[in-house]
Amino acid sequence: MPKLTRRSFMKFTAASIAAAALADKKRVHAEKDDVDRAFPLMTAGATTAYGLCHFCSVGCGIEVKIKDNKVISTEGHPDHPINEGALCPKGRSMKEMTNSDERVTHPLIRKPGSDKWEPISWEDAFDKIASKVKDVREETFTKTVDIDGEEVRVNRTEGIFSLGSAEIDNEEAYLYTKFNRALGIHNFTHQAEI
Amino acid sequence: MASLAPSFGSGAMTNNFNDMKNANVILIAGNNTAECHPLAMRWVLKAQKNGAKIIVVDPRFNRTAKVADIYAPVRPGTDIAYLSAIAKYILDNKLYDETYIRENTNALYKVNPDFKFQDGLFSGFDGEGSYNKDSWTYQLDSDGLPIQADSLDDPDCVLMKLKGHFKDYTFKKASEITGMPVDKMKLVAETFVNNRPGTILYALGMTQKSVGTQGIRMYAIIQLLLGNMGMPGGGINANRGEPNVQGSTDLALMAHILPGYIPIPTDAHPTLNDYINTVGISNGKKLISLLKAWYGDKATPENEYGYHRIPKRDSGISDATYVPIFEKMNQDAYKMGFIFGQNPVVSTPTLDMALAGLSKLELLVVSEAFETETTSFWLHPDFNSKDIQTEVILLPAAVAFEKDGTMTNSSRWIQGKKAVVAPKGESMPDGDMIYEIMKRLKKSYANSNDSKDKAILELTWDYPVLDHGIDIESVLKEMNGYNLKTGKLLNSGSEIQSLKPGESSSGVGGLYTGVITEEGNHSLRRDNDDPSGLGVHPNWTFSWPDNTRVLWNRGSTDKNGKPRDKDRAIVSWNGNRWVGPDVLHIAAKDKAPNTPEGSKVFSNAEGKGALFRGPFTMPQQNIPDVTLKSGYDPNVFKVALISNEGGIGDGPLPAHYEPLESPVKNPMFSQQSNPTAAPVELPEFQKYGKAKDYPYVLTTYMVTEQFLSGGVTRNTPQLNELMPSNFAEISKSLAKKAGVKSGDPVKISTARGDVTVSAMVTDRMQPLKVDGREVEVVGVPWGWGFRGLVQGESVNQVTNSGYEPNTGTPEYKACACNVTKGGK
């Protein structure tokens, strides 16, 4: 299962931003001690890519600067018809969010009664989840109900609920719905309701 | 969107952000645009620069009010009262657009003489919390079609029913209820009515109430009366809250619908024939197209296209699901739960209910980019983690810049983007996690012959895997749909209706069709040209449906297809065809304006904007005499109804009810609050307070720098520097009563408990004069919790889990509280 191991992204990253141009190697000037010194811009040598803001639903476009496979700057995209180059403080912070050291970067498990997280491999995490889904589905499945004397096929998995998410992409949301419904999950909603 | 859909045919933000510059007046009520949608405010300000008047109605003089031309305060939860006074002002003075309401609404339809409204209850109340809606109907002719009055003065017609219904909402009465001064209310009414087109902006400030659906119905009624629907600069603009909440709603991460707003099958529809007979031809075809996308060649007419693989919902329960899930969790209904990208341990009202519920699970699976109060609920300061037996698996999610995909903004633009950096560490897109779990389930069920497992085994799930995960564009193609005869991508959702059932597939029932066609992926288009200058930007990404930017735009023209306002010509008939910068909505694009298909403005069951919203079924005429074979018979499409509207559970017209917790007795009726609100399930958590103990009104909101539950932003130092801690905004008079000054801790208590935050004493909060006395309002941002780089007590510990009966949205915005000096 090569895709689940740590992958080689350099090729992929290069391909996905192939159309992006190298930023101009501009310099900024600062006067100090009567000497006009020149410094390279932080974005010198960076590639420019197109991104979308991930906060409120206005959907602003973001000009993302990337250097060494790392986001180094997020500014409003000048071409986007809604934000026309501007951004709010949250949009500006997309860089910090992406790079944050606070991010969870490995699957974790908290065992019953424990007071800490422990690492778990993707493989083990997926196996554990799938196996529990199957157990609970088998145990709590309602195939039919009696409605006014008629046996109606309902195919409901009663023992699993599912919440989420307005924070994931359309394709992911679609897969999540398809996944939940195929399993028979009907206690299913997300933050749009509240 | 439980009110826009029954009013017009589908529920979403009608216009778009750029279009707001075309308005002559903007009413912002239930939304703090400057704070919560800062770049939308750009277009509000452009309108103002062009001469438009900006009106803000809010309990608090907020950041948007600061730049408004008119600010009017309102007591939380009482919006229907002042909006009813505006409706009365329009009706009594005949300020409605008579041509528009005659041609495009149900104003002339005659209402069933049995329909009544007395002392806060509509006819048909069962005394226990629900209505029989049989009397909320039209008078029908022998074909089952509504009978129309000859004149708008006919006492039976919808318009006169409205006039009678709103007659008691004088400005004075509405002022006594809302605390909005009479002069201010008159000014709001006159300004909004006399400047057309006008648009209305709202968000959770309107919906997080026990009367949320009916509040938005008021907007629909007012905008229909004024002829503002379908106009550039008009419409009703719901400013939605999360980056992809429009998309996640379209894709039905909800209990009562399937993707594309297809009604969920229930146990009242044992067969596909029954389902189609109930939901109508159009929805029936949509469901079959979805089943073809999900089950491919295994979906056949013989097996009812796999109809029985989808779980059927209990027909006896309402659409509300969120609070009921936490109620049932506490009643030991679940062994396991999935929570993807959501933080209910900050966002659920009556938080102890959520904490106790999660502790009862055997396994909780959470996908998140950061540790949140939900992933780590077992570390809650009130818990001893040794006592919590729930196993928790935390899956690290990739963030927006790390994955390919599309998101649908509030105004229905399906915007595509590509991954620009690799996922951090081992984090992974949510789509890949879901893909992997289903792959394993398919494998583990591989040898099963049990019929229930076909739902998994036969599910189409063969997405190509690229070096960075599954091919997201192949998922978008499945959503868009195919013509199964040609194998080509569909161009428009209308093809699902014109092709025979089973000849097309679409995972979203046609709603997103056109986003990716043989021509290319339109979500990636980035041509921002706007030749008309009306903010249409037709080649910027793709807007559902069919790239239409302004919903119901057929109504921006007269019956001959001529623009009603030459400066706002967004579509028009040039004598031979429909032209203009936007794509014609609802009316047939190849039909002249005076034909039945070319004159249609709305897509609800009547095809008319619903000023009065009862149940209605559009029957098929000339039904052949056929006996259907059981299960599924294609002849069902020859006999089934065309479309069906069930009405709204709490009434065909809005009425003023007090919030579930209120400082006053309802000044309008002896019916105090929404009679259809759900009863308490968990008395140990869901407690209600009385005005004598909790005399003030608590309302909650968000600030620009801390987003929603704070799971991301409270982990972002540059935002924490701007907004490092939480606060309670209170008036100077309340500060005096409580003996506190700015910066002092204040204890906010409700029947559910108390939280302590710092007081912010401010003139932005003013006591309101309600029913002859002063009512204080307290405002607290809600997105705080016990994890993250900055922390604070969650005000949702004390908010009310009572919810709006149609949608399930809790009444966060109007709770009864007390405020006292906090000790530390």
Q: Is the pLDDT of residue B189 over 50?
A: yes
For residue B66, what is the domain's CATH number? 3.40.228.10
**What distances in angstroms separate CA B10 from CA A154, B223, B244, B769, one per listed residue?**
28, 16, 18, 38
- One domain for residues B590 and B711: no
Q: Is the pLDDT of residue A1 over 70?
A: no
Among B residues 354-373, those touching chain A with beta carbons less than 8 Å apart: 362-363, 365, 367-371
Q: Is the pLDDT of residue A6 over 50?
A: no
- Min Cα distance B400 → chain A (Å) is 7
Question: Looking at residue B3, what is its pLDDT?
Answer: 87
Average confidence score pLDDT of chain B:
97
Do B243 and A91 form a contact (C-beta atoms < 8 A)? no
Residues of B in contact with A189 (CB under 8 A): 253-255, 321-322, 325, 808
Distance of alpha carbon B664 from alpha carbon B687, whole angstroms: 18
Distance of alpha carbon A136 from alpha carbon A155, whole angstroms: 14
Residue B390: inside a domain = no
Among B259, B268, B311, beta carbon nearest to A155: B311
Among B335, B411, B472, beta carbon nearest to A171: B472
Helix residue ranges per DSSP H, chain A = 10-16, 89-92, 94-99, 122-140, 170-183
Put simply, the answer to whether A90 touches B321 (Cβ < 8 Å) is no
**What distances in angstroms separate CA A135 from CA A154, B146, B159, one per listed residue?**
19, 53, 58
Put simply, the answer to whether B294 touches A152 (Cβ < 8 Å) is no
- Comparing alpha-carbon positions, the chain B residue that sits nearest to A131 is B441
Q: Is residue B220 packed enough to be buried (19+ CB in 10 Å), middle (13-18) or exposed (0-12)? A: buried
- Min Cα distance A183 → chain B (Å) is 7
Task: Residue B721: count other Cβ atoms within 10 Å of its Cβ.
Answer: 11
Question: Looking at residue A30, what is its pLDDT?
Answer: 58
Listed residue (B251, B250, B228) closest to B15, CA to CA: B228
Bridge-based pairing of strands B53-57 and B25-29 is parallel
The DSSP string of B220-251 is HHHHHHTT-TTSTT-SEEE--SSTTHHHHHHT
What is the rounded average pLDDT of the residues B521-539? 98
Put simply, the answer to whether B368 touches A50 (Cβ < 8 Å) is no
Distance of alpha carbon A90 from alpha carbon B718, whole angstroms: 9
E-only strand ranges, B299-458: 336-340, 363-368, 391-396, 405-408, 413-417
Question: Of B241, B271, B290, which closes a domain?
Answer: B241
Question: Of B193, B217, B241, which closes a domain?
Answer: B241
Q: Is B631 on the interface with A (CB under 8 A)?
A: no
Residue-range domains of chain A with CATH: 7-99 (2.20.25.90), 108-193 (no CATH)
- Min Cα distance A159 → chain B (Å) is 4
Q: Is the pLDDT of residue B295 over 70?
A: yes
Mapping DSSP to helix (H, G, I), strand (E, B) and coil, where does residue A89 land?
helix
Question: Looking at residue A42, what is its pLDDT?
Answer: 84
Listed residue (B453, B393, B405) closest to B432, CA to CA: B405
Residue B671: inside a domain = no
Continuous segment of H or E residues that includes residue B819: strand B815-821
Question: Looking at residue A3, what is its pLDDT?
Answer: 45
For residue B735, what is the domain's CATH number? 2.40.40.20
Q: Give the pLDDT band (50/70/90) at residue A40.
A: confident
Residue B54: inside a domain = yes
- Min Cα distance A94 → chain B (Å) is 9
What is the rounded average pLDDT of the residues B463-477? 95
Residues of A in contact with B399 (CB under 8 A): 54, 97-98, 103
Residue B116: inside a domain = no
Question: Looking at residue A35, what is its pLDDT?
Answer: 64
Sign of CA dihedral A28, A30, A35, A36: positive
What is the rounded average pLDDT of the residues B546-550? 98
The domain in which residue B590 lies consists of 553-601
Put simply, the answer to whether B431 touches A128 (Cβ < 8 Å) is no
Sign of CA dihedral B537, B542, B548, B550: negative
Residues of A in contact with B811 (CB under 8 A): none
The distance between the two most distant Cα atoms of chain B, rounded to a whole number of Å, is: 79
Residues of A in contact with B348 (CB under 8 A): 194
For residue range B499-519, what is the model confidence (pLDDT) as tens digits?
999 999 999 999 999 999 999
For residue range B551-570, what is the model confidence (pLDDT) as tens digits?
999 999 999 999 999 999 99
For residue range B296-333, what is the model confidence (pLDDT) as tens digits?
999 999 999 999 999 999 999 989 999 999 999 999 99
Put simply, the answer to whether B243 touches A113 (Cβ < 8 Å) is no
Distance of alpha carbon B735 from alpha carbon B731, whole angstroms: 6
The domain total for chain B is: 3
Put simply, the answer to whether B393 touches A114 (Cβ < 8 Å) is no
Put simply, the answer to whether B325 touches A125 (Cβ < 8 Å) is no
- Tally C-beta pairs within 8 A across A and B: 479
Q: Residue B776 corresponds to which amino acid?
A: E
Question: Looking at residue A26, what is its pLDDT?
Answer: 56
- Min Cα distance A28 → chain B (Å) is 24
Q: Give the pLDDT band (50/70/90) at residue B1.
A: low
Question: Looking at residue A17, what is its pLDDT?
Answer: 47
Among A residues 98-157, those touching chain B with beta carbons less than 8 Å apart: 98-100, 102-115, 117, 120, 122, 125-134, 136, 139-141, 143, 145, 147, 150, 152-157
Residue B526: inside a domain = no
Cis amide linkage into residue B675, ω under 30° from 0: no
Put simply, the answer to whether A90 touches B713 (Cβ < 8 Å) is yes
- One domain for residues B595 and B713: no
The residues, any chain, with a CB within 8 Å of residue B8's CB and separated by 6 or more, are B14, B220, B229, B551, B552, B602, B603, B604, B609, B610
Q: Is the pLDDT of residue B259 over 90?
A: yes
What is the rounded average pLDDT of the residues B754-776? 97
Question: Looking at residue B468, what is its pLDDT?
Answer: 85
Strand partners, A142: A156
Put simply, the answer to whether A131 touches B388 (Cβ < 8 Å) is no
**What distances in angstroms separate CA B481 from CA B512, B516, B673, one per listed residue?**
9, 9, 45
Q: Is B42 on the interface with A (CB under 8 A)?
A: yes
Q: In the sheet where B542-543 sits, what is the strand order?
A: B405-408, B413-417, B542-543
Residues of B in contact with A140 (CB under 8 A): 335
- Min Cα distance B792 → chain A (Å) is 18
Do A163 and B372 form a contact (C-beta atoms < 8 A)? no
Among B residues 303-342, those touching chain A with beta carbons less than 8 Å apart: 308-314, 320-322, 324-325, 328-329, 333-342
**B272 vs A8, more confident:** B272
Q: Is the pLDDT of residue A8 over 60?
A: no
Question: Looking at residue B697, what is its pLDDT?
Answer: 98
Residue B47: inside a domain = yes
For residue B700, the 8-state DSSP code is E
Put simply, the answer to whether A193 touches B712 (Cβ < 8 Å) is no
Interface with chain A: mutation pick from B32, B39, B271, highest number of A CBs within 10 Å: B39
Do B237 and B199 form a contact (C-beta atoms < 8 A)? yes
Distance of alpha carbon B744 from alpha carbon B739, whole angstroms: 9
| Token output for B680 | 């308490």
Question: Looking at residue A41, what is its pLDDT?
Answer: 82
Question: Looking at residue B95, what is its pLDDT?
Answer: 98
**What distances in angstroms separate CA B380 from CA B347, B354, B373, B414, B700, one per listed residue?**
15, 12, 8, 39, 22
Residues of A in contact with B253 (CB under 8 A): 164-166, 173, 176-177, 188-190, 192
**A9 vs A174, more confident:** A174
For residue range B658-702, what is the model confidence (pLDDT) as tens digits?
999 999 999 999 999 999 999 999 999 999 999 999 999 999 999
- One domain for residues B595 and B727: no
- Comparing alpha-carbon positions, the chain B residue that sits nearest to A107 is B395
Length of chain A: 194
Put simply, the answer to whether B535 touches A97 (Cβ < 8 Å) is no
Residue B318: inside a domain = no
Mapping DSSP to helix (H, G, I), strand (E, B) and coil, where does residue A16 land?
helix
- Min Cα distance A1 → chain B (Å) is 11
Q: Give the pLDDT band (50/70/90) at residue B66.
A: very high
Question: Looking at residue A2, what is its pLDDT?
Answer: 40
- Min Cα distance B129 → chain A (Å) is 21
Per residue, the 3-state secondary structure of B430-490, as one string, reads HHHHHHHHHHHHHHHCCCCCCHHHHHHHCCCCCCCEECCEECHHHHHHHHHCEECCCCEEC
Put simply, the answer to whether B405 touches A169 (Cβ < 8 Å) is yes
Strand partners, B748: B755, B819
Put simply, the answer to whether A59 touches B413 (Cβ < 8 Å) is yes
Put simply, the answer to whether A170 touches B336 (Cβ < 8 Å) is no
Distance of alpha carbon B56 from alpha carbon B35, whole angstroms: 13
Q: Is the pLDDT of residue A5 over 50?
A: no
Distance of alpha carbon B702 from alpha carbon B253, whole angstroms: 24
Q: Give the pLDDT band (50/70/90) at residue A32.
A: low
The distance between the two most distant Cα atoms of chain A, rounded to a whole number of Å, is: 95
Put simply, the answer to whether A171 touches B479 (Cβ < 8 Å) is yes
Put simply, the answer to whether A94 touches B400 (Cβ < 8 Å) is yes
What is the rounded average pLDDT of the residues B720-727? 97
pLDDT over 90, % of chain B: 98
Strand partners, B576: none
Put simply, the answer to whether B718 touches A93 (Cβ < 8 Å) is yes
Question: Of B241, B265, B295, which closes a domain?
Answer: B241
Residue B172: inside a domain = yes
Among B residues 238-267, those touching chain A with beta carbons less than 8 Å apart: 239-255, 258-259, 267
Q: Is B715 on the interface with A (CB under 8 A)?
A: yes
Put simply, the answer to whether B244 touches A168 (Cβ < 8 Å) is yes
Question: Looking at residue B559, what is its pLDDT?
Answer: 96
| Token output for B64 | 């948007």
